[in-house]
Structure 1
């Protein structure tokens, strides 16, 4: 039987810090949906589409704050596992590239002149300091949510951290899973290849972009490599098992599939909305890339969830049988 005990000071501090990191973004969104012009030029944020988009992203960051609280408080241990894992997976996918790639891109931009604002609707609408506040907060949220989730998961699902590749399900279904992952991963290489082409200057299937060449190289390469790492990790999880620890591969698959789904869905949705941020741009290519990437991430994550659930269940049953024999 699981005995969690009371949350320690570290977990409480992580929770408080993560919630604090959401406050600037939440404050900006509340200001914009109530008609404030702070941090923006003109009245673009007052359009119905932008109000709806801001309400949606306000809700997403509010969920991040609630998630941080659930990971730290006793009542969070009574929340069904999937209700924590699903938003945490999406949050990891959205925030990991921001935490890992954007700081490097910012340094590259500082040495190459930064973002050119002329002709870019988003740069004309939103003041530069807003990006620093928003992405800085996202980076802190990424650190806090990951730390909180790891502490929660180590107590709640300790068996997952001890899994080895040989513990993953075998049998007749393993061949089917291997074929599914191989086929889906092959399709996943398409958005990876497109993003790598963007990194090296191609404008195929992408909206107009005023980033410097160095910034584009860092950002597009970083996003593509995170997705590619997820594809490789999923292939490793379905091949012939061995005795190596599975945790590193599971984490890579988690982050990679989350990045594919989260950002793919984001690109798809933003392409479908006509806002001042994409005014006059052809978003059809980005919608195609995003839709395919989101589908790949969703299918591979489903396979990942089934693998881990079955392996953890088998490991727990084996431990219970061992305990009964010893008793």
Structure 2
């Protein structure tokens, strides 16, 4: 049986990261800066990027200013995280302090990374603007913000991949038959959670056509925006399928593929609903959206617990600092 444990001792650890990893790190950091600069302007009362007086007033209201503080803090944390994932000192951090934030970041950024190119392609096919009308912001703000998010998604994932290969190399060699049977004790709970997550995925696909009708998140008006909902649904569905597959432990294929889909799907299931509520246009939130989001978040947490327990030994159980 393969056991997941911390990798090489300090004496054999690599020194400075290679050139590719260093470039990925600093490109990711650079992609955070435009968003941070915008947030600083808005927090200090400058309405740069507003399309009209109403948009400027909305940017500077209390709801948006509180959101600016939170999201600016998240961007600063993303910068610290990519540095930890790139440089050797990050290997000394507890596993949960690295894996937990990158898992949440995956849920926030994966729908953008997948939905943005698909959405722009779909919008180009049907015609029209990808930016919603009368939204109060100039078009370049969307390009700057969501383009930066897409780069961050790719950069953080690449940085975590390099970090994980050094810290938990056994996971990348692990086969399905090596997985632990401990999680099988929760098979019924897992199947219920997977069914709920699959239902949420179906609702997201439906909302990608009807939103904001049928109780969907407000503000999703263009084809490009709705494609992000479709991407969310597809990622959650992948997780709902992959976690039970880890429980079955069938076949001799490598674990890394199904585990990656389970990782992405569970993180999106947990974060998508709260994100849609927090960012709802004009604070317009339906009871259906709240209910569906709560169910999805709970199911995602249960599936994530099963995903971790399916490993022979969870990183948090075998971590040792040197």
Structure 2 length normalisation: TM-score?
Answer: 0.87
Segments of structure 1 that go 5 or more residues without pairing to the other structure are 272-276, 317-327
Alignment of 1:1-327 (within 5 A): 1-2=8-9, 3-6=12-15, 7-40=17-50, 41-111=55-125, 112-115=127-130, 117-118=132-133, 123-170=134-181, 173-201=182-210, 203-209=213-219, 211-212=221-222, 214-215=223-224, 218-270=227-279, 277-279=281-283, 281-308=284-311, 310=313
In structure 1, the residue corresponding to 2:48 is in which secondary structure?
Answer: coil
- 1:94: how far off? 1.2
- 1:11: how far off? 1.5
1:30-83 CA-to-partner distances (Å, cap 9, x unmatched) read 111111110123211222221111100111111111101111122111111110
Asked if 2 retains the 8 angstrom alpha-carbon contact of 1:207 and 1:286, the reply is: yes
Distance 1:206 1:315, change over 3 A: closer
- 1:174: how far off? 4.2
In structure 1, the residue corresponding to 2:192 is in which secondary structure?
Answer: helix
In structure 1, the residue corresponding to 2:216 is in which secondary structure?
Answer: coil
- 1:180: how far off? 1.8
- 1:142: how far off? 1.0
- 1:197: how far off? 1.6
Q: C-alpha separation between the residues in 2 aligned to 1:242 and 1:134?
A: 42
Supply the RMSD in Å over aligned alpha carbons.
2.3
Q: Which has the higher contact order (CA 8 A, sep 6+)?
A: 2
| Structure 1, 307-316 or 161-170: larger mean CA deviation | 307-316
Distance 1:14 1:217, change over 3 A: closer
- 1:264: how far off? 2.1
The aligned length equals: 303
Q: C-alpha separation between the residues in 2 aligned to 1:141 and 1:164?
A: 30
Asked if 2 retains the 8 angstrom alpha-carbon contact of 1:94 and 1:262, the reply is: yes
Asked if 1 retains the 8 angstrom alpha-carbon contact of 2:120 and 2:130, the reply is: no
